Structures are given as C-alpha cells and as structure tokens.
Amino acid sequence: MAGLVTTFGAGAMTNSIGEIRDADFLFVIGSNTTEAHPIIAMEMKRAVKRGATLVVADPRSIWLTSMAERHLKLRPGTDIWLLNAMANVIVTEELYDEDFVAHNTEGFEAVAETVRAYTPEAAEQVTGVPAEEIRATARQYATTRKAGIYYTLGITEHSHGTDNVYALANLVLMTGHLGHASCGMNPLRGQNNVQGANDAGATPVFLPGYQRVDDPAVLAKYQASWGVELDPTPGLNLNEMMKVAGTQLKGFFVMGEDILLSEPNVAHLEEGLNGIEFLVLQDIFLNETARFADVILPAACFAEKDGVFTNSERRVQRVRKGVEPPGEARADWEILQDLARLCGADWDYGDPAEIYAEMVKDAPKFAGISHARIEREGGIQWPCASPDEPGTTFLHEGGILRGKGLFTPVDYRPSMELEDSEYPLLLSTGRTLYHYNSATQTRREQGAGFKQPEAYVELHPKDAGRRGIADGDLVELLTRRGNLRCRALISRQVRRGCIWMPFHFAEARANLLTNDVGDAVTGTAEYKVCAAEVKRLSEQPAPVAFRGSYYAVEGPGPGKVDELPMAPVSAADPGD
Amino acid sequence: MTQPQTLTLNGRELAFAPGETVLEVAQRAGSFIPTLCHDPRLAPAGACRTCLVEIEGWRRMAPACATPATAGMAITSESGRIDRHRKSLMALYLADHPEGFVGSELGAPDQVYQLAERYAAPTDWPRMDNIRAGRPLDENPYILFDATKCIACARCTRYCDEVEAVTAITLAGRGSQTTIATVDNLSLLDTTCEMCGGCIDTCPTGAMAEKIPLLTAARPERELTKVRTTCNYCGVGCQMDLNIDPEGNGGRGKVVKITSPAPGTTTNDGNLCVKGRFAYDFIDHEDRLTTPLVRGADGQLQPASWSEALQRAAEGLLGVAERHGKDALGFISSSRCTVEENYLVQKMARAVFGTNHVHQCAAT
C-alpha cells in the first residue's frame, strides 16, 4: 500500500472487480486467485473464456496456470528481475506510451536507465523464466489496451515487497494502462476489511483517509475535531511492534488477531511477550495469544453486529446484524466505547452509523458516503467526496490522483535468507481454498476437515525421492528459527528445490519457521522466502486422506500413489 | 450511428441492443416469461422449453432465451396456444417429479411446482418410471443431490463448467435416465469440485440442495428471515443473505443457511465460494467466548463480569502508560472487524492514549 500511495496517490485497486471480465490481457503475479479470491477468479475465468490472454507469474503451478496462455514459473524472490526485464523490453522496443509518459508521469528516464541492465537473457539466468517468454509477455502487455495487473501477497510479503510494487507500477505507468476500464494495478485484498482497516486509519502513519499524521494541517484538523493534543510522530508498524514486544512495548491491546499464529518468527515473539506487563485481547474465540492475555473480552462476530466493510475495489458495503451474539458477547464497537470511557474519553456513539459519520467528516475521500446512502443505493466505491457523487469505479480517470504518476527505479536485492547446504530448500507459505487465515473459523467446519484435515507441506517428487519421503508421510520441517511436524504432499506444482506450506494450522504453525525480517517501508515480513529442510520421521502414524487434492501428483480422485504410475523422470526434465 | 433497433412484445414496442435475446429484452421491460433452464451467467441452452413464445411469421414457437432479438420481430408471450403448451409441459415435468409436492416446505422453492400451479397443469398424467440415478453414498458434507427432483436442465453442470470452470459434474445417461453424475460416480470430495455450491444456487427445483439445513430439519423456507450482509472472509466483499431461523438458539436467532443474491445485482454476480456459502458453523460453535475472562492471582483465566473485566483492562492499559510512558503501548486492530471498529481503535490509541503505535495485520 505504501508503494501505491507513493506512486499514484492512493493505495487500493485502481479498477473494479466487475471490469475483469472485459479485460483482454490479465497479468496475475503472486496471487493464487482461485484459492484466495475465488469470486475474482471466476471473473478471470470468464475473461479467458471470452478470449482474453492470461499470463500467470508464480513459483508454483496454481489452478489458474492450467488455463493460462503462459506460466512464468520464476524462482521465489526474483520478481524484480522478471518485472525489470519486462520493462527493459518495453523500453528498448519502444512499446511504451510516449504521450502518457510525457503528460502524466515523472521519473521515466531514471527507470529506463535502471532497467537497461535487466535484459531478458540475464533475467532468464536469475529467474529461470525463458527470455522469449519474458519478451512475449512484455509485448502483449504493452500493446493491449485493456491490460490489468492483479497481485497479492506473493508480491508484498518479501523484504523487498515495496520494491516489487514499484516495479509493477513502473510497468503500468510506462504503458499508460491507467484511468480507463479493465486495466490498472490491482492488489487483491486478503481479508474482508483490509481496505477498510487502512481506510479507517488503523496504521501508524495515516489518520483516516490516508492523511499523514506528520502533516501539520491534518494534525491540526484532528486536534480540533477530537479536542486533544495528538502526537505528530508516526508510530511503529506491526512488524516493529512485534520485535520490541517486552522491551520498548510493555502493554498491548489486541482486537481480532492471533498474533502468535499470524506473525513471523513466533518463537522470538513469545519470548518478547513474556516480558510484557499487560495484554487485553478482544476476540470471538480463545486463540494462541490468549496464553499471554490478562483480560479477554468476548466479541460478536460479523453476523451479530452492524457496520461496514470495504472490499478490494474500494466498495463500502453494509454488514448487518442478523442474530444476537452468544452469552454475554458484545459488538467490538460497544466494547471499545466502554473501554475508552473508562480510560477518560467522553465517547457517546449510539450506533455504528454515527461512528461512520464522524469518520467521514474529516476524511474527504469518503465524505459522500453514509450508512443511510448505502441502505438506499447498495455499496459505494470511494473516492466519493459528496452525497451527490456516484462514487468511483476506476481511479485516475482524467489524470492521476497525485498529479503525476511517479516512476521509482528499483534494483534487485536477493531475499534475506537463501538456500544453503544446511537448509537446501526454499519455503514459501500461503493460503488454501478451504481454510482461512489462522483457521479459527474454518477448522470448526467439517468440509475443510475432509479436504485438508492436517497441516502439510508440498514437496517436488525429486526432492521427496532423495529424502526417502513418500506421499502422506509425516515429516519434520526445519528452518533456522524453528521446526514443526506435518504431512508431506508430493506435488509437481512446486518447483524442484522449493517447498510450500499453508499457514492455517495451529499445531504446525508455519510462522515458527518464517523470517521476521521486514520490508523497509511497510514492515511486512518475508513470509514468502526462507531456507528450509525436510526430514522424514522414523515413526509414522496412520495415514490421512487429503481428498480430491488438485495439487497432488496424481490429481483429484481416490487413487493411491502406488497404484498409479509416477510420471517418468527423463533427462530432458526442465527441473521444475 | 444506426437508429436503435426495435421489436414488439405483445404489441409493445421495445428497443434492444445488438446481441440481446428475446428473453433479455422482455425481462428488461418487466415482462414475465417463465424459464427453468435459464441463468443469466450461462450461455443459453434452450433445453427446458418453458420459455417458448410465438414470433410472427414463424411456424413453430421459439425459446425466448436462445432466440436473438432482430429488428421488427413481433413476439407474443401470452396466448391460448402458449398457455396450452405451458400446461402440458408442466404436466410432463410433474409426471417425472415427486408426487404431492414433496419437500416443497424445506429448501429452496421448487419452480416446477410453482409454474405447475401458476398454469394449472394437470396432475393426473401417467407417471414416468423415474429411474434417474443419484449418488446416495456421496458423503460430502454440503451438497445434496436429490435425483427425483432433477429435470436435467443442466444448469448445474453448465455452471460448474462455464462459471466455476472445474467441470466436476456432468450430464450422464440418456432419456429419462439422464442424471447429474461425477467421474465414476465418485463423491464430490474426490473430484475437482471446489464445493462452491453454485450448483445449488442455480438449481431451479432444489434437486441440488444444502445438505446440512435439509438433514437437520430446518424450518420451512417461508419461516426463515433473510438478512443481506457482506461476507467476512476474503476481500472480494461478496454480498450474501443470512437465512435465519428467528426462534433458533433459544430465541437469539440461528443462521441455518447462506444464500447468494440474484445474479447481476451485486459484485459477486450471484456467486459464492465454499467458505462464504458453507463455512458458517463457527457462528454457533461451542468454543465461542461467551463471558469476559480475567487472569486471577493463580495465573488462571477466570470468568468475570463486564464491569470487572473492563475496569481491569482500563487500569492495566493506563498503568503501563503511567509507568513506561504512552509509547510503551501497542494497539493491534483487525482487518476482520468493521471500519467503524478500526476507526475507534485508532482513535483510542491516538486521542485517548496519545500514541501512534496502532496497526493491523494487513497493511501492504
């Protein structure tokens, strides 16, 4: 998001979900869309069936690659090489939009200079993606008007995540794929209200509506509205907070997050939490973090309260109360109000509509939106500055929000931890269709239990064979930060030398393994690349079934591995 | 520019856009033509023959869903001939459908029965010997296939193919044995099925249905209340309807089913995924926190009253700020909670405690 704000002046999907079906070229990078955003994937499928070209860039074969024209199966963490090489092709073959670059952007020369060294041939050496495929993708992207980029955490969850975003934005700016339908730069949000939480100012740098806390005019406005002195120094981001838990930070208020399951390098975090003095937790279930909590406040879930969520395409939509919360549980906003009053505030909100009205009063981007209006019209997409405006389907129509789009030259920096003789595999983590985040909700669901009953790691057949690991074996997974046990799923979806694991399972917390080195700008941790090793355990429990797994070697179906011939491994195997 | 093209429907002149079908023009004009196999998300199939209309100069009636509108077309959608056709067609469907309006109380309304009633179709036609095969042993937890109610309109298989694109189910067999099958009659769990439940959503008769609500004997459909809300999983923001048994859970209400709004009305276009449609058991799970907890002197969490817990929380946070300064506090908000709640957390951090140490897990 920080990258997007710098480049375009707004941190959100530039275009809308409904426009995807009309796109002619889709570049999906670092997004397993069918599993993480199934409904957006349906729009992509619809576009492809209509005749659009889909190119997927991902270290892993994902469902979408089966319908893609091209799959750029790059080595994890080498995105900058791939993207800069695409820019190199666009610059050297003069495929960029001269007019758009001249009138709507600044800094093009610097990027053109930087990408000169990133030839497709050199990129092939680093990324493993053939130079001709990079060329073809760059040409198609640059010469198709309705060409959209779609990405998620495969781009941002790196120590160079913000650089990745800049590299993508450079492509968008040089081709002018901005300001009309079915194009743009589209981060797909992982959680229901990621967009809304950022919109609302739950960030150390921004007050509501992306207004900086260190902007004196903004600060003065909020000091007047709230009637208190405010601190003009940006605070610590989440990654930084986790690192100084117990040292600089002695008390926490945590709402609706299991930091011990979700944050990287949790062993270090646990140590830190032992040194804190006080922690309040507000949630719907007891979670791992509860072990460190002094007070736990039971909250209502989405079906039990009113409010709004803002989706990936900036659409503000109502959440409506359908049932009463169980026992004494209460809506988070009611609890927050009571707590704030006990701490000296004079809050007196009657309902969420009043809170929303207060928020938009000082945040021009949302000023035209209200609960009453959503009730009448359905969801409204910001920016929407006044009640007479319809909202905004795609951004930057008739000019980029920040005035001129800012090119940012970026150079490749290797991921912070690469494979070596001791830890020869590269581990990435991610989501699956059947579970959700820390799975406090979906593991209480029987369907998910049938499809993915236990934690697992995907392993290439060759890497498995060398270690004597068979499909379904219980293995130990080790990194420099910790180890855990899970099932091995032998899969050709991962590159050789790479392994992949979902992060949903509390008994095999992938984040015991991941690296907490953060992106320099956002603090987002490097969940997507770290060095690891897998070992078969000598004692094997009873097998479990992962039914109909799309990613297993033998594909969906009830067959067992030993009943089906393994794909022959020939000398010409490209080593994927 | 060419002049907008027009046709007439029951004498009314209507403009249409190139590529529109007769059914689309009629629906846009608010004129009802019955359909069973039509779903705007799917390519027209013209399979159920319910939407037949008369077109001037055409000897045979034509399916409105699969007939492209052309300039000057004169269409009749209500006439004695059409009415006779609808009556006998529905009588045929009834002869191949469970007798006595079975199961119409639970689950989505069966449109065969509805249309049969609407057109007063005879119910005494000789019954077909229905030997359509089901998959009674499919132990998937969500999707029930009741072969007796299937009319082989192929909405579910076309949806699975054209929209979800996993092609887990297919038409199999011939004639009255035509059924909805999987490869080798496997359980849906063992196929490419992703359990999106789109087959349920598109099914016009309830042959594809939500297994859990039906098997746990939920209330009749008409006694459920629907509340439109936004899904709480990923960032797509699908709109969904909570189907609530108002008397469930001892009167506090129970979500017994989740359905999607009609296609074309919201961002998700009538679609939902496995989590959105089916993963709602957590709402009433016994592990839900139902009372505040406070850690006692013995180090154990003990149930407490709200006033006690809130007092303790306030004192704890204020105490840290007093001893170590305001910037010794960290506020972690949640992208799972509402905008309003996130606003309040950051306002609490900034305006009440004076720190900008506020963030949530998703700021990239």
Q: pLDDT digits over B266-304, tens only?
A: 999 999 999 999 989 899 999 999 999 999 999 999 999
Does residue A160 belong to any structural domain of this protein?
yes
Does the beta-carbon distance from B316 to A191 stay under 8 Å? Answer: no
Q: At which of B63, B78, B93 does a domain end? A: B78
pLDDT level of residue A2 (50, 70, 90 thresholds):
low
Assess whether pLDDT exceeds 90 at residue A39: yes
Q: If you measure CA to CA, which chain B residue comes closest to A156?
A: B364
Q: What is the dihedral of CA B31, B34, B40, B44, to 10 degrees?
A: -120
**Block residue for tokens 């907008």:** B4
Does residue B346 belong to any structural domain of this protein?
yes
Which region among A52-56, A246-250, A400-404, A545-549 has the lowest average model confidence (pLDDT)?
Answer: A400-404
Q: If you measure CA to CA, which chain A residue comes closest to B166?
A: A63
Q: At which of A187, A215, A232 does a domain end? A: A187
For B46, B62, B126, B130, the CA distances from B86, given in Å and listed in that order, are 15, 13, 17, 22
Mean pLDDT of A217-243: 94
Assess whether pLDDT exceeds 90 at residue A381: yes
Same domain, B293 and B283: no
Does residue A476 belong to any structural domain of this protein?
yes
Mean pLDDT of B252-256: 92
Over chain B, what is the mean pLDDT? 91
Q: Out of A46, A321, A434, name the one closest to residue B274 (CB).
A: A434
Assess whether pLDDT exceeds 50 at residue A573: no
Scored b (16 or more CB within 10 A) or e, A119-129 reads: bbeebbebbbb
pLDDT level of residue A379 (50, 70, 90 thresholds):
very high
How many angstroms separate the CA atoms of A416 and A431, rounded?
22
Same domain, A496 and A518: yes
Mean pLDDT of A228-254: 93
pLDDT level of residue B106 (50, 70, 90 thresholds):
confident
Same domain, B10 and B74: yes
pLDDT level of residue A346 (50, 70, 90 thresholds):
very high
Mean pLDDT of A313-336: 96
Indicate the number of domains in chain A: 3
Assess whether pLDDT exceeds 80 at residue A221: yes
Does the beta-carbon distance from A241 to B330 stay under 8 Å? Answer: yes
Q: What is the pLDDT of residue A567?
A: 36
Q: Out of B288, B319, B355, name the one closest to residue A235 (CB).
A: B355
Q: What is the pLDDT of residue A446?
A: 72
**Block residue for tokens 């053939």:** A130
Q: Out of B229, B267, B355, name the one closest to residue A315 (CB).
A: B267
**Domain residues for A544?**
425-563
**Encoded amino acid at B13, one letter:** E
Interface mutation vs chain B, best among A302, A306, A443, most B CBs within 10 Å? A302
Assess whether pLDDT exceeds 60 at residue A198: yes
The three-state secondary structure class of A556 is coil
Q: What is the pLDDT of residue A309?
A: 95
Does the beta-carbon distance from A302 to B232 stay under 8 Å? Answer: yes
Mean pLDDT of A377-387: 93
Q: Does A328 touch chain B (CB under 8 A)?
A: yes
* CATH at A207: 3.40.50.740
Composition of chain A by helix, strand, coil, percent to 5: 35, 20, 45
Which region among A283-287, A405-409, B100-104 has the lowest average model confidence (pLDDT)?
Answer: B100-104
Q: At which of B54, B78, B102 does a domain end? A: B78
| Chain B residues lying within 8 Å of A284, measured CB to CB | 282, 288-289
Same domain, A220 and A80: no
Mean pLDDT of A95-114: 92
How many angstroms separate the CA atoms of B88 and B65, rounded?
20
* CATH at A116: 3.40.228.10
Q: What is the dihedral of CA A252, A256, A258, A259, to 10 degrees?
A: -40
Does the beta-carbon distance from B342 to A194 stay under 8 Å? Answer: no
Same domain, A506 and A483: yes
Assess whether pLDDT exceeds 80 at residue A498: yes
Q: What is the pLDDT of residue B128?
A: 84
Q: At which of B35, B54, B78 does a domain end? A: B78
pLDDT level of residue A557 (50, 70, 90 thresholds):
very low
| Chain A residues lying within 8 Å of B358, measured CB to CB | 201-204, 235
How many residues are recorded in chain B?
364
Query: Taking a contact as any Cβ pair under 8 Å apart, which residues of chain A between 345 and 404 contact chain B?
Result: 345, 347, 352, 355-356, 358-359, 378-379
Does the beta-carbon distance from A200 to B238 stay under 8 Å? Answer: no
The three-state secondary structure class of B202 is helix
Q: What is the pLDDT of residue B184?
A: 85
Q: pLDDT digits over B200-242, tens only?
A: 999 999 999 998 877 776 678 888 999 999 999 988 999 999 9
| A529 Cα to chain B: minimum distance (Å) | 17
Q: What is the pLDDT of residue A504?
A: 77
* CATH at A537: 2.40.40.20
Mean pLDDT of A95-108: 92
The three-state secondary structure class of A62 is coil
Q: Does A329 touch chain B (CB under 8 A)?
A: yes
Assess whether pLDDT exceeds 50 at residue B1: no
CA proximity to B159, closest of B11, B22, B271, B317: B271
Same domain, B283 and B293: no
**Block residue for tokens 């209460």:** A330
Same domain, A286 and A141: no
Does residue B125 belong to any structural domain of this protein?
no
pLDDT level of residue B132 (50, 70, 90 thresholds):
confident
Does residue A568 belong to any structural domain of this protein?
no
Assess whether pLDDT exceeds 80 at residue A188: yes
pLDDT level of residue A575 (50, 70, 90 thresholds):
very low
Over chain A, what is the mean pLDDT? 87
| A480 Cα to chain B: minimum distance (Å) | 24
How many angstroms separate the CA atoms of A564 and A573, rounded?
20
* CATH at B14: 3.10.20.740
Q: Does A339 touch chain B (CB under 8 A)?
A: yes
**Domain residues for B315?**
289-321
Q: What is the pLDDT of residue B103?
A: 56
How many angstroms separate the CA atoms of A205 and B346, rounded?
11
Q: pLDDT digits over B66-87, tens only?
A: 999 999 999 999 999 999 999 9
Q: What is the pLDDT of residue A563?
A: 37
pLDDT level of residue B10 (50, 70, 90 thresholds):
very high
Same domain, A200 and A346: yes
Does residue B181 belong to any structural domain of this protein?
no
Mean pLDDT of A520-532: 75
Interface mutation vs chain B, best among A6, A166, A194, most B CBs within 10 Å? A194
Tell me how crowded residue A466 is: count the other CB atoms within 10 A of its CB: 10
Same domain, B284 and B300: no
Q: What is the pLDDT of residue A8?
A: 65
Indicate the number of domains in chain B: 4
| Chain B residues lying within 8 Å of A297, measured CB to CB | 292, 309-310, 313
pLDDT level of residue A564 (50, 70, 90 thresholds):
very low
Q: If you measure CA to CA, which chain A residue comes closest to B162?
A: A46
How many angstroms separate the CA atoms of B315 and B356, rounded?
20
Same domain, A102 and A241: no
